[in-house]
Structure 1
Amino acid sequence: MFDRIVAAIAFAAGVTAGIGLFSLYDISIDDPGVRREARAGYVARAEMIALEAELEELRRQRDAIAAWRDRYAVALARAEKERADLERIRESERVNYAGELERAGRACLLDRTDIDWLRRGE
């Protein structure tokens, strides 16, 4: 009977020692490695999410700039057309006025440089 008690105690001590050694291995070697790997994965994922957000922001800015450029090109074309139309109207008025002066027997002594000077407002 004593042998059975000693064997049971020895078995319990062996099991306890095994659990203790496993726990010591788990706490000191395995868990830090698992934590390190988890952190490394988390950092890589966080960096990937940050880079994706940055890429999305750059795309948004690119699209906004393209839309602005298109609006500017349309406005510029419209302004150039209006300027050309006004220039044609002014030239037509000048020619008509010169014709009126000539028919009335008068002369306009202004030449092209004088007209350009008046237009610039100098």
Structure 2
Amino acid sequence: MISSYSDLIKTAKSEHEPQRLLFVFCRAELPDDASADEKAAFERGEGGALTPVICVDKALEEVLEFAALVEESEGTGQSWDVVFVAAMSGRGGTPPSTDEAQQPLTMMVESIRLGHVSNYLPLDKSGNAVSLG
């Protein structure tokens, strides 16, 4: 069971084929027409919608430390609350390229926009897995 970014890296390193990681950073937001109850729940850290603000793919070797990934994300000027991660396997000992990752990354962003997040690992800013139930 993967419960942190470091667990994810260990698992990805143990895979037979080289991995490329896909990241979608999201900000929790409330719709403009939110009710008073929804606003109160949001203030308690519940509810709201996750809006993708940054997406990027990285070779495993580029993102061994979560702190480096967070630092890079801060350089964009976009604030975020949760990052979703997925992995792509290479073939024949060759990791997937950025070009090969583009369509799966785009599909990942759209899936998250629609609220379909069960196929991805959600992590908080500390690199710990979070439950979105």
Shorter-chain TM band: under 0.3
In the superposition, the TM-score normalised over structure 2's length comes to 0.17
Structure with larger RCO (C-alpha < 8 A, sep 6+): 2
In the superposition, the TM-score normalised over structure 1's length comes to 0.18
Select the structure that is richer in strand: 2
Select the structure that is richer in helix: 1
